[in-house]
Homo-oligomer: A and B are copies of this chain.
Amino acid sequence: MASTPAASRTAVPSGVTLAELVQALGGQPQGASQRQVHRIAPLPDADETALSFVAHARYRPQLAASRAGVVIVPPELAQAALARPAPPDGGWAAWVTPDPYALLAALTRWWRVHRQPRPATQGVHPTAWIAPGARVHPTARIGPFAVVEEGAEIGAGAELGAHAVVQAGARVGPGTRLGPHVVLGYDCCIGARGLVHGGTVIGADGFGFAPVPLPDGSGRRWDKIEQLGAVVIGDDVEIGANCCIDRGALGDTVLQDGVKLDNLIQIGHNVRVGRHTAMAGCVGVAGSARIGAFCTLGGGAIVLGHLELADHVHISAASVVMRSILQPGQYSGIFPIDDNRAWEKNAATLRQLHALRERLKALERRMTT
């Protein structure tokens, strides 16, 4: 085991005071607002040099036990944050806001820029391959061994990670970052301020084949349907690592503005995902499904092909959407986990469930006659 956890390396030598953070990000300081913050940490790992946060009153006991120097809290917890037994180096501080989670998010973004900048490529790396007919904005940054093919376009301030490939005619919007080994397929495009993590493939062929009977009658082979569409991705879209977003068969596959996808997600050809919809890891959306805006899909959920999900539909993790869902709401379909022996008995009985229902019906009939 590595002896020094990486998180300790995220500490910055020079602290920042709560007062300075409030000036940059708002909220109300209470208590020792001159306290120096050297790092941000989850509540159980935070010490006097750390800032942490509590979003709900149900974490009051954890707050009481914490040694975090500064805590982002909702107003109802400010007193609890300050009332802890005092640290050796002075009093505690509370950073009070009605929405601790949103303030934490803003703080992480400030911290990224001012205290822990992400290492970034500068300019065009000498090993990158830029095809003669490609257009790369002078402010774009292109990593080692990245490839920009003929007719491709890289916008202002965009960034390609090491080995990223932007194929012929593809377009990367301003400020958008493609991680290492990302592929943006030919004729595909992504809008502004996007972020695509390592290894994701955008614009591979959709899975389209026509069955053709074999002459010997033993079965059929599959003849390829060339995938002539592309992938069109809006602004402010984030896509995780090792995802696959297939190009459309005839029309396009579309991810609208603000969509957020976690890792290892499969989006089939012709799918449309509405704005600000989010999907957790390992989700699979089959071809031609249409998913509304503001939806959420839990990890490992599967949506079958050609279905429609209305806006504001929420699918629980590992649930399988087998029919269109046209009413907003939360939907689930998960086999409950149990110890193996109990599961075996219940699963075996499940295979007789319809028969049990018939037996129950028969009993009911006998009782009423």
Contact = CB atoms under 8 A, between A and B. Distances in A.
Contacts of A352: 346, 357
Closest 9 interchain pairs by CB?
Answer: A6-B230, A333-B337, A119-B168, A219-B294, A105-B210, A108-B226, A345-B354, A244-B263, A197-B204
18 contacts: A5-B251, A7-B229, A7-B251, A112-B228, A144-B147, A145-B145, A165-B181, A181-B183, A181-B199, A185-B198, A198-B201, A262-B268, A264-B264, A299-B302, A332-B344, A333-B337, A338-B351, A353-B353
Contact of A163 (B181, B191, B336, B348): B181
A5 to B, nearest CB: 5
A152 B129 CA distance: 24
Nearest to A8: B252
A171 B6 CA distance: 10
B210 A119 contact: no
Copies in the complex: 3
Contact of A105 (B118, B209, B256, B363): B209
Interface string A278-295: 101110101000000110
A201 B197 contact: yes
Contact of A311 (B42, B219, B323, B330): B219
Interface string A158-176: 0001110101110101000
A339 to B, nearest CB: 6
A27 to B, nearest CB: 14
A162 B162 contact: no
Interface in A188-216: 188-189, 191, 195, 197-199, 201, 204-205, 207-210, 212, 214
Most buried by B among A10, A111, A191, A344: A10
A311 B359 CA distance: 36
A120 to B, nearest CB: 9
Contact of A320 (B165, B212, B300): B300
A183 B198 CA distance: 8
